[in-house]
Amino acid sequence: MDAPHIVIVGGGFGGLAAARGLRKAPVRVTLIDRTNHHLFQPLLQAAFEEAESLGDPERARELLTFVLVGGGPTGVEMAGAIAELRRYTLRADFRRIDPLSARIVLIEAAPRILGHFPEPLAEKARRRLERLGVEVLTGNAVEKIDAGGVTVGGQRLASRTVIWTAGVAASPAASWLGAPTDRAGRVIVEADGRVPGHREVFVIGDTAHWQHEGKPLPGVAPVAMQQGAFVARLIQSELAGTPPPVFRYRDHGNLAVVGRGYAIFHHGRLRLGGWPAWLLWVFVHIANLAAFMNRLRTMTQWGWTYFTRQRGSRLILEPAPRSERHAGG
């Protein structure tokens, strides 16, 4: 109990990387998160089941109109996932609705999607999405979002399922610490991730404005994981009294999956599209799971699902009639 106590607030990619990096250090580690699991899940099949239970075609149409705001890797990946879900996974699960009738709209304010990728690769991704049935609207900023849909380019688009994929807001950590922030509310940290005036506090991931070679690092999973691992090494070096390490970000390239069996990858002069890039995406995601058994189980399940298109059992329960719901008991 006399060992230094490290408290990690947040079980995201960065928090888990820091915890793993400290697993052999002579410290006590407490990881705090809202949930007891780490979830990286693009979509649950909240909306199709509700549409099935409705008797109102207009409301069902609004539920089955999926609007994604933001044409970066997250928006592109989620649009492709919904399209695959509609076409294959849920195709035979319903009686009243046809999942293929679902409308998927991806909205991007910039002139094109995937702005960090070379234009030829981004164009391949756009064509792939359109072949999957996704409507891609570029050069249009969303003006309003409410419970009934969105307003974009002066036009109203009715939708009960609007998904924000244009980035995340920083946590309120800056206000807790009284720390300086950038315009997005992220804590401006020092070169080693410390909060100015609080050498015992590090901020990483989406909440950190961390400069590297004169530019802020993006709030993506690979960055957070490298930051978490670095902070773990830094803590261990201070405990051992050895010279501290210097943070050096390694850019592993940009990778985005666009539906089943298709992805794009860019790193330096290397550009990949299609099946090879998708295999790389699978390898990267499995390799970053927390334990060997998780990797083995996920690889087995993904392989089975990919080649058989079979999923686990799913139950769709219809609501009980009003008379039954209000019966005694």
CB contact at 8 A, 27 and 2: no
Q: pLDDT by residue (tens digit) across 26-39?
A: 999 999 998 887 65
> What is the pLDDT confidence band of residue 329, given thresholds at 50, 70 and 90?
very low
- Quick one: tokens of 304? 């089975």
Q: What is the mean pLDDT of residues 177-202?
A: 94
Please give the full DSSP string across 240-272, using - where no structure is assigned. Answer: HTPPPP--------EEEE-STT-EEEEETTEEE
Say what angle helices 221-240 and 13-21 make with each other, to 10 degrees: 30
Q: 116-120, 129-133, 248-252, 302-306: lowest mean pLDDT where?
A: 302-306
> What is the pLDDT confidence band of residue 325, given thresholds at 50, 70 and 90?
very low
Q: What is the mean pLDDT of residues 228-246?
A: 96
| H or E, element range at 200 | strand 198-202
Share above pLDDT 70 across residues of the chain, in percent, rounded to a whole number: 79
Q: pLDDT by residue (tens digit) across 95-109?
A: 667 777 889 999 999
Number of C-beta neighbours around residue 284 at 10 A: 15
Q: How far is CA 314 from the centre of its chain?
A: 24
> What is the pLDDT confidence band of residue 117, given thresholds at 50, 70 and 90?
very high
Q: Dihedrals φ, ψ of 134, to 5°?
A: -90, 135
CA distances from 144 to 74, 148, 155, 156, 158 (A): 21, 10, 10, 9, 12
Q: What is the mean pLDDT of residues 303-311?
A: 60
- Residue 318: pLDDT above 80? no
Q: pLDDT by residue (tens digit) across 275-300?
A: 898 888 777 766 666 565 666 666 66
> What is the pLDDT confidence band of residue 317, given thresholds at 50, 70 and 90?
low
**CA gyration radius, the chain:** 23
pLDDT score of 84 = 86
103 forms beta bridges with 65
- Give residue for tokens 């649009």: 79
Domains of the chain: 5-38+182-240 (3.50.50.60), 49-167 (3.50.50.60)
